[in-house]
Structure 1
Amino acid sequence: MATITKENIGLLHEKLSVTIEKNDYLPSFDKALKTYSKQANIPGFRKGMVPAGLIKKMYGASLFTDEVLKTIDKELNAYLQSGQVEIFAQPLPLEADFKSIDVNNPQDYTFNFEVGLKPEFTLPDLGSASITGYKVTVTDAMLDEEVERLQNRFADTKEETAVTGEDNVLTLAFTESDEKGNAVEGGVTSNQVYVTKYFNEATRTALQSKAVNDTITIQLKAAFEDKELASVLEDLKISEQEGAADKFFTLTINKIGSKIKKELNQDFFDQLYPNQEVKTEEDLRAKIKAEIEAYWKSQSSNQIQDQIFHQLTDHTTIEFPETFLKKWLQQQGTEEGAAPKTDEQVEQEFPGFLKQLKWSLISEKITKDQAIDVKPEEVRQFALNQLFSYMSGMGGGMNLEDQPWVKEYVDKMMKDRKYVEDAFMRLQTQKMFDWAETQVKPVEQEISVEDFTKMVQEHQHAHH
């Protein structure tokens, strides 16, 4: 009968000794010999009629070793799965004397493994944590800006005969030329659409009163500011060419358009919010304000969750079997043929590895203590919501619920193991933070959108 003993060899670091007796592996070895005898194809013998003695002589040593190691592995896994110990990663085998495994001399065998034990720890009391709930102030200026943005976004387009202002939309044919406007043989040609204000001030002035079919010759670096110039070079596909910004182009105006900003009337309200009670500009502003507030409330929730994360990681003390973990980290990839990591590589990677491991343990404890689970139908709905969000972003206004290809798409995603695992982890993490938010008592603080954005950016910069 197999036995397993353990011996402490360091902080949360133990040696497991697995001992098996002859009766633990000999029956399976004899069975393996018989199976091999039936399947072996050896010249001079009919298949299935090879004597067991010959099979043992030819293949017994390797089959014997396999069965001994399989039995050791089976007993070790059964012990670990019994819940008597909770370990990190996989056991690491200690040095073993494989020469002692002799098919002609069956005996009891002992193999040693080292394991890193998962620690016990206590989470901080989230109810007493100092958490700030930021409430972004939605100002009249923000509402004015959003109303105007919507008016311009849904603006009607009107064709013009001449350039009249910086908001004209110009359809332009670019032809590479010299500074006098003579086309360069084999030069770059391209059609682009730019708003007049995309050009710098001097070029905008030169464009004024130009009509359809008129031309203007420009040098790229003299016609655009640096920020716009980089994009223009990309558009013309010459960004990698040496001296690209020095090139001259003759621009032919093929079309001039202007946008007519939407009026604040019932047609526009219905276009923005069909079948909703938006009858006046005040109704529109109230609707937009609610949407802006909802957006910043979600951003504030993200900030609360970030504070919870730091509260949990900064105020939870966890001891780790560092000696074992460094040894385990060093061996990663060796089974695929990679060389073990050097001591220097391990020391460099270890702080980040330990930080990630700490969060994994905290997450694991919360999900276990709070019985947080994710059901398959929730993963399926997650995939469906992702698809709807994508189609909405692409401008799809159709009712997707009844489309037969939607079910086929979701069925396909549910068969993608990596996708399902990633979706499961995202949903589980969200549920964990949803629970954590119910435990904290945020102190509300009014903040401007500028200060909130600056705070988030500074925080992200500090943690990267």
Structure 2
Amino acid sequence: MKISVRNLEPTKVKLTITVDPEEFNPYLDAARKEIGKQVNVPGFRKGHVPGKIIDQRIGFAAVAGEAVDHAVPELYSKALEEKQIHPMAQPEIDVVDVPASAKDETKLKFTATVERRPDIELPEIDGVEIDVPQAQVTDEDVDRRLEALRQRFGTLVGVDRPAAKGDFANIDLNAEIDGESVDSQEGVSYELGSGTMLDGLDEALEGLSAGEETSFESTLQGGEHEGQKALVKVKVNSVKAEELPELNDDFAQDASEFDTLDELKADIRKQAAQDAEGRQATQARDAFIAKLEEGLEIPVPKGVKAELVEQQLKNVTADPANATDEQKADAEKQVEKELVDQMVLDALAQKLDVQVSQADVFNFLASIAQQYGMDPNAFIQAIVKNGQLGSAVQEVGRSKGLLAGMRAVKFVSNGEPLDLSAFLGEAAEDEESESVEAASAAAAVADELANKDDENTADAE
């Protein structure tokens, strides 16, 4: 197999792959065998029809087509591996030449244009020192958490006064465009000052008492008239204020398993300290990735970026074409950061020769299934069926590479060594023989699932 590579962009290449007959012939033979299982030829049993007869009866073109369908993906993967090209998207395949007959000496030739991960030269990290802010818990942190707990036990009490910030108003809303009602809601409970509904609603409600109404202009946030200006009429049905319990030992007993307020505060401080340590570990991770990327100019694949930006915009607006310049700029910035981080972590995993085991893949997918309350086996089968297993394996490799890299550096905080072992775990011992490269891990999982399906089918029969 001859492979030529032409760089179209820093992150895009075109491979031209020419396949020698002796390498393509096995695919032709396999195609003839597969076709022979599906056709009836007088004088021969199914599956035992000679290849020459298949070529004559079915046509060599059909055989070659079947062979190409199987050969191209496999040979493309081999070419990527041989040239150490790491694809970031699905390739555009163009079959250029195919032999017209069994005796035709024309070689199978095809091109593959694909966006790729650029070559990234990472710095050496062994012994590198990275400074991380201290994990601090202040009295204000404890008071905020205590106040949040207190609010959970608050009650709403009706008040005979104008609504103010922090009150809860029961309201009716009616939006009109050119005098015609386009949307209305009744009996909506809204907290003044929360800013969770229409722009201008907080200002309109403040100072109104039960039974009063007013109107204001606003831009609709959803529905078929999203983005359009409307006249919104609002009526206040009732006003309620939040009444909070006193902070004392009785409250501590009602809100927790503790007998005194001091014991409750001590537990809240302990939880706050644990959360602060978690945030510190996240800061350490971000600082480590930033250290890897320091001084590097890493281009991102344009097509992949454009697709992800569109997906990102769909999360903020129904039609990405209507997104504001600010929304587009924010989406592009976020996507570019995510892509650069992913590519750097992929390069790190490769540099550290990270191995991904079948158990790693299963555990990763099972943990995601558990988060969404799904059956792990059903979830994994869906991942395999949808062709997403490779992405999952890649994510496992990134995670393992990140942990291994962070273990290789020295983190300090305020000049003192920082122990992150509770978050990084211990370096794994040499894994068992099932440890494989990412692609092999994907195949192993898929094969095992397929075997289970076959066994279940056999049992059912």
Give the TM-score category using the shorter length. Answer: 0.5 to 0.7
Map 1:69-84; keep pairs closer than 5 Å. Answer: 76=75
* Candidates 270, 276, 289, aligned match of 1:290: 270
Helix, strand or coil for the counterpart of 1:368?
coil
Helix, strand or coil for the counterpart of 2:212?
strand
CA radius of gyration, larger in? 1
Matching of residue 155 in structure 1 with residue 135 in structure 2: no
Helix, strand or coil for the counterpart of 1:259?
strand
Matching of residue 301 in structure 1 with residue 299 in structure 2: no
Q: Residue 362 of structure 2 aligns with which residue?
A: 376
Report the more deviating stretch, 417-426 or 290-299: 417-426
Asked whether the equivalents of residues 163 and 205 of structure 2 are also in contact (C-alpha less than 8 Å), the reply is no
Q: Residue 212 of structure 2 aligns with which residue?
A: 216
Q: Residue 403 of structure 2 aligns with which residue?
A: 434
Matching of residue 28 in structure 1 with residue 29 in structure 2: yes
**5+ long unaligned stretches in structure 1:** 178-183, 208-213, 222-228, 333-347, 388-405, 447-464
* Candidates 187, 193, 201, aligned match of 1:191: 187
Work out the CA distance in 1 between the residues paired with 2:57 and 2:148: 83
Helix, strand or coil for the counterpart of 1:443?
strand
Q: Residue 244 of structure 1 aligns with which residue?
A: 231
Specify whether residues 136 and 64 from structure 1 end up closer, same or farther in structure 2 by C-alpha distance, changes over 3 A only: closer
Asked whether the equivalents of residues 20 and 72 of structure 1 are also in contact (C-alpha less than 8 Å), the reply is no
Helix, strand or coil for the counterpart of 2:290?
helix
Work out the CA distance in 2 between the residues paired with 1:378 and 1:145: 35
Work out the CA distance in 2 between the residues paired with 1:67 and 1:185: 60
Q: Deviations along 1:189-220, whole A, 9 cap, x unmatched?
A: 7223345677879975564xxxxxx6324344
Specify whether residues 416 and 14 from structure 1 end up closer, same or farther in structure 2 by C-alpha distance, changes over 3 A only: closer
Letter aligned with residue 362 of structure 2: P
Specify whether residues 118 and 111 from structure 1 end up closer, same or farther in structure 2 by C-alpha distance, changes over 3 A only: farther
Asked whether the equivalents of residues 361 and 396 of structure 2 are also in contact (C-alpha less than 8 Å), the reply is no
Work out the CA distance in 2 between the residues paired with 1:166 and 1:7: 72
Letter aligned with residue 132 of structure 2: G
Taking structure 2 as the reference length, the TM-score comes to 0.55
Structure with the greater relative contact order (CA < 8 A, sep ≥ 6): 1 or 2? Answer: 1
Q: Residue 359 of structure 1 aligns with which residue?
A: 344
Per-residue deviation, 1:431:
3.5
Asked whether the equivalents of residues 170 and 194 of structure 1 are also in contact (C-alpha less than 8 Å), the reply is yes
Per-residue deviation, 1:129:
3.4
Work out the CA distance in 2 between the residues paired with 1:197 and 1:176: 20
Work out the CA distance in 1 between the residues paired with 2:76 and 2:204: 77
Q: Deviations along 1:442-464, whole A, 9 cap, x unmatched?
A: 23149xxxxxxxxxxxxxxxxxx
Q: Residue 415 of structure 1 aligns with which residue?
A: 381
Q: Residue 443 of structure 1 aligns with which residue?
A: 412
Specify whether residues 195 and 65 from structure 1 end up closer, same or farther in structure 2 by C-alpha distance, changes over 3 A only: closer
Per-residue deviation, 1:284:
2.5
Map 1:45-60; keep pairs closer than 5 Å. Answer: 59-60=58-59
Map 1:269-284; keep pairs closer than 5 Å. Answer: 269-274=252-257, 278-284=258-264
Per-residue deviation, 1:261:
1.6
Specify whether residues 20 and 220 from structure 1 end up closer, same or farther in structure 2 by C-alpha distance, changes over 3 A only: closer
Matching of residue 310 in structure 1 with residue 309 in structure 2: no
Asked whether the equivalents of residues 122 and 348 of structure 2 are also in contact (C-alpha less than 8 Å), the reply is no
* Candidates 259, 276, 292, aligned match of 2:242: 259
Letter aligned with residue 288 of structure 1: I
Report the more deviating stretch, 411-420 or 146-155: 411-420
Work out the CA distance in 1 between the residues paired with 2:367 and 2:282: 22
Letter aligned with residue 163 of structure 1: R
Asked whether the equivalents of residues 169 and 193 of structure 1 are also in contact (C-alpha less than 8 Å), the reply is no
Work out the percentage of aligned pairs sharing the same amino acid. Answer: 15
Helix, strand or coil for the counterpart of 1:190?
strand
Per-residue deviation, 1:364:
3.8
Helix, strand or coil for the counterpart of 1:101?
coil
Per-residue deviation, 1:127:
3.6
Work out the CA distance in 2 between the residues paired with 1:383 and 1:22: 42
Specify whether residues 63 and 158 from structure 1 end up closer, same or farther in structure 2 by C-alpha distance, changes over 3 A only: closer
Per-residue deviation, 1:440:
2.0
Map 1:201-212; keep pairs closer than 5 Å. Answer: 207=209
Q: Deviations along 1:247-298, whole A, 9 cap, x unmatched?
A: 4x55343xx5443322233443244433xxx443333333222322332332
Asked whether the equivalents of residues 20 and 107 of structure 2 are also in contact (C-alpha less than 8 Å), the reply is yes
Per-residue deviation, 1:438:
1.9
Letter aligned with residue 231 of structure 2: A
Q: Residue 451 of structure 2 aligns with which residue?
A: none
Work out the CA distance in 1 between the residues paired with 2:205 and 2:31: 91
Taking structure 1 as the reference length, the TM-score comes to 0.54
Q: Residue 39 of structure 1 aligns with which residue?
A: 40
How many residue pairs match? The answer is 362
Work out the CA distance in 1 between the residues paired with 2:16 and 2:378: 45
Asked whether the equivalents of residues 166 and 195 of structure 1 are also in contact (C-alpha less than 8 Å), the reply is no
Q: Deviations along 1:391-436, whole A, 9 cap, x unmatched?
A: xxxxxxxxxxxxxxx6x64443233215766665555433332332
Asked whether the equivalents of residues 171 and 193 of structure 1 are also in contact (C-alpha less than 8 Å), the reply is yes
Q: Deviations along 1:108-145, whole A, 9 cap, x unmatched?
A: 55445678999998642324435221125332233223
Asked whether the equivalents of residues 5 and 17 of structure 1 are also in contact (C-alpha less than 8 Å), the reply is yes
Helix, strand or coil for the counterpart of 2:399?
helix
Asked whether the equivalents of residues 345 and 401 of structure 2 are also in contact (C-alpha less than 8 Å), the reply is no
Larger helix share, 1 or 2: 1
Specify whether residues 135 and 355 from structure 1 end up closer, same or farther in structure 2 by C-alpha distance, changes over 3 A only: closer
Specify whether residues 216 and 301 from structure 1 end up closer, same or farther in structure 2 by C-alpha distance, changes over 3 A only: same
Q: Residue 124 of structure 1 aligns with which residue?
A: 123
Specify whether residues 170 and 67 from structure 1 end up closer, same or farther in structure 2 by C-alpha distance, changes over 3 A only: closer
Letter aligned with residue 244 of structure 1: L
Specify whether residues 137 and 108 from structure 1 end up closer, same or farther in structure 2 by C-alpha distance, changes over 3 A only: same
Asked whether the equivalents of residues 174 and 192 of structure 1 are also in contact (C-alpha less than 8 Å), the reply is yes
Letter aligned with residue 438 of structure 1: R
Q: Please, what is the CA RMSD of the aligned residues?
A: 6.0
Work out the CA distance in 2 between the residues paired with 1:94 and 1:185: 55
